[in-house]
Amino acid sequence: MSDKGHIELERQIDSIIVGVRHRRDLGDISALMRSIEEVGLLQPITVTPDGVLVCGLRRLEAMRRLGRRTLNVWVRSGISDRLSHLLAQQDENEQRKPLSPVETARLYEEIKILEKEDSERRQAATRFGSIGNDGGANGGSESLPPHGKTNSIAAHIVTGSDASQRLDRINWIRSVAEDESLGTSVREFAANMLTEIDNDAPVAPAYKRVKAAVELASSPPPPSQDEEDEVARLAAEALKRVQEEENAKRLRALRSKTKRAPKHHSPRSFVLMWSELEGWTALYDIGELAAALKDEDWARFERVVAETIELRDRLREARTAAASA
């Protein structure tokens, strides 16, 4: 026996209570009737301990039309009294305190769980078959409703119409109000929205407000000015390091290329270049240069000057040696 329920054999069909809120458009159940005639009822219907139908109206009606008097049922325990009363309700105008929107959403969620259990049992029985206590096959199958259809069935049972989206939104707001991982202010805001919904406020605006509150609470706070300054400083240092590394990489590549395959320009090119550079130092303002040059610019200038002086000294020695020869 399961802690959720148990199989009961040979329950009288006429003893099962079907409330008015169950869907009445059963569709074509002839294929289901043929399946039951051939291999029996594959999956028992679900009832409350008091015999109120929860799931399986099509299976119940197919068995009744086949002239059967009894059938196996799954007796589901743990169903709330409010839901049992709603399922058993025979008169829609019965005098009772009407359910609030939040209460209705809770019962809708309960019905969805029961419908999901029933669907999973049918799916397992269809896939593997099911052997009853009498040793015979409980065969026969009924098409399994998609998730959206299950929600629609549950909403129709509870409200008499397909209000699944509205009820799902109310239950989501309730989940936010009960979520201990969220901040107190967000939970209290969600609880206040539920109170307003119970007082006939529209659900859609409340849902959007709570959703916005949750998204805002989950977003990181904007950085302070000190944090922004620190990020900017670190970014500038990182950029400088990257530029220095790139410059060093280019220099190494240039030196490596020069060592591997030196390609000298002609003496005429040398003469022309220095003819063009003659007097170039008078073209610039020292103060303006000092203020404008970056560290990497100055490092490049000093490197070129050092290379030029080195070339001058080597060239002077070579010319002196050539004159002495």
Q: pTM, whole model, 2 decimals?
A: 0.53
| 210 and 113 share one domain | no
| 157 and 19 share one domain | yes
Task: Give the residue from 36, 130, 150 showing the smallest Cα distance to 74.
Answer: 130
Domain span holding position 203: 176-219
- Other C-beta atoms closer than 10 Å to the C-beta of 158 total 26
| 211 and 147 share one domain | no
| 23 and 100 share one domain | yes
| 23 and 117 share one domain | yes
Q: Would you state the pLDDT for residue 171?
A: 93
Q: Which residue has the higher pLDDT, 97 or 138?
A: 97
Q: What is the pLDDT of residues 307-325, one digit of tens each?
A: 999 999 999 999 998 888 7
Q: Would you state the pLDDT for residue 95?
A: 45
| 137 and 214 share one domain | no
Judged against a pLDDT cut of 50, whether residue 135 lies above it is answered with no
Q: Domain boundary at 139, 162, 185, which?
A: 162
Percent of the chain with pLDDT over 70: 84
Q: What is the pLDDT of residues 89-134, one digit of tens each?
A: 655 454 456 778 898 888 888 888 888 888 887 777 766 554 443 3
Q: Which residue has the higher pLDDT, 232 or 2?
A: 232
Backbone φ, ψ for residue 6 (5° rounding):
-155, 160
User: How many domains does the chain divide into?
Assistant: 2
| 78 and 109 share one domain | yes
Q: Would you state the pLDDT for residue 233?
A: 79
Is residue 36 within 8 Å of residue 70, measured between CB atoms?
Answer: no
| 139 and 79 share one domain | yes
**Mean pLDDT across 68-88:** 83
